């Protein structure tokens, strides 16, 4: 996919691309460190139809949601021919008992046979995270296991 990058003198940098539905979507990274999600028409990238200011945390959360979904879809496709294997995403809520704790403390693999195959954090992917990786509020965990195991993992991450 082609991402167009445009310097915006005095403001920052615009990065966008054309969607298959015929719209341009992207972000403007402003010099002061904030970001805006933008939507434009296909024929005029300078005509902004919507602009949504995002804080750094909001941009990271949006990146996690989109990136995590993409990763989960790829894993689901890879596991399509393996009956009983499901891919699911879990977010670490601020009230999770495992927030700011090493992932291994939850014992997800031992307790329910589910593997955490990646963590999406601030738009970055942490592949194959080890038990020493500390979980943070807003992290999106991509997990693979049985439906029953994933239900148990969701309960563990939510309630301990």
Per-residue pLDDT tens over the stretch 7-33: 999 989 998 988 888 888 998 988 888
Contacts with 1 (C-beta within 8 Å, 6 or more apart), sequence order? 17
So what's the pLDDT on residue 135?
A: 96
For residue 103, the 8-state DSSP code is G
Same domain flag for 110 and 55:
no
So what's the pLDDT on residue 133?
A: 96
Higher-confidence position of 35 and 44: 35
Percent of the chain with pLDDT over 90: 39
Looking at the structure of the chain, the number of domains it has is 2
So what's the pLDDT on residue 36?
A: 92
Instruction: Look up the CATH number of the domain holding residue 58.
Output: 3.10.450
Tell me, yes or no, whether 127 lies in a domain.
yes
Same domain flag for 63 and 97:
no
So what's the pLDDT on residue 145?
A: 92
**3 state SS of 146:** coil
Same domain flag for 9 and 60:
yes
Lay out the sheet containing 140-145: strands in order across: 86-91, 140-145, 115-121, 124-127
Same domain flag for 37 and 89:
no
So what's the pLDDT on residue 159?
A: 92
Backbone angles phi, psi at 140, to 5 degrees: -115, 115
**3 state SS of 132:** coil
pTM: 0.63
Using pLDDT thresholds of 50, 70 and 90, give the confidence band for residue 141.
Answer: very high
DSSP labels, the chain: ---EEEEETTTEEEEEEE-TTSEEEEEEEETTS-EEEEEEESS-TTSEEEEEEE-HHHHHHHHHHHHHHHHHHHHHHHTTTSTT-EEEEEE--TT-TTTTSBGGGG-HHHHH--EEEEEEETTEEEES--TTPBP-TT-EEEEEE-HHHHHHHHHHHHH-
Same domain flag for 60 and 110:
no
Among residues 42, 68, 94, the one where a domain terminates is 68
Higher-confidence position of 99 and 82: 99
Same domain flag for 13 and 63:
yes
Among residues 68, 94, 123, the one where a domain terminates is 68
Range of the domain at 58: 4-68
């Amino acid at each position: 996919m082609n991402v167009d990058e445009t310097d915006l003198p005095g403001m920052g940098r615009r990065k966008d691309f054309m969607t298959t539905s015929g719209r341009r979507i992207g972000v403007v990274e402003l010099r002061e460190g904030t970001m805006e999600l933008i939507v434009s028409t296909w024929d005029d990238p300078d005509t902004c139809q919507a602009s949504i200011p995002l804080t750094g945390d909001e941009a990271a959360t949006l990146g996690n949601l989109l990136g995590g979904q993409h990763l989960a879809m790829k894993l689901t496709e890879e596991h399509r021919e393996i009956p009983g294997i499901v891919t699911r995403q879990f977010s670490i809520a601020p009230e999770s008992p495992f927030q700011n704790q090493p992932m291994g403390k939850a014992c997800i693999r031992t307790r329910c046979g589910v593997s955490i195959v990646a963590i999406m954090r601030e738009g970055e992917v942490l592949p194959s995270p080890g038990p020493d990786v500390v979980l943070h509020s807003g992290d999106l965990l991509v997990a693979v296991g049985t439906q029953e195991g994933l239900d148990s993992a969701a309960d563990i991450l939510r309630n301990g």
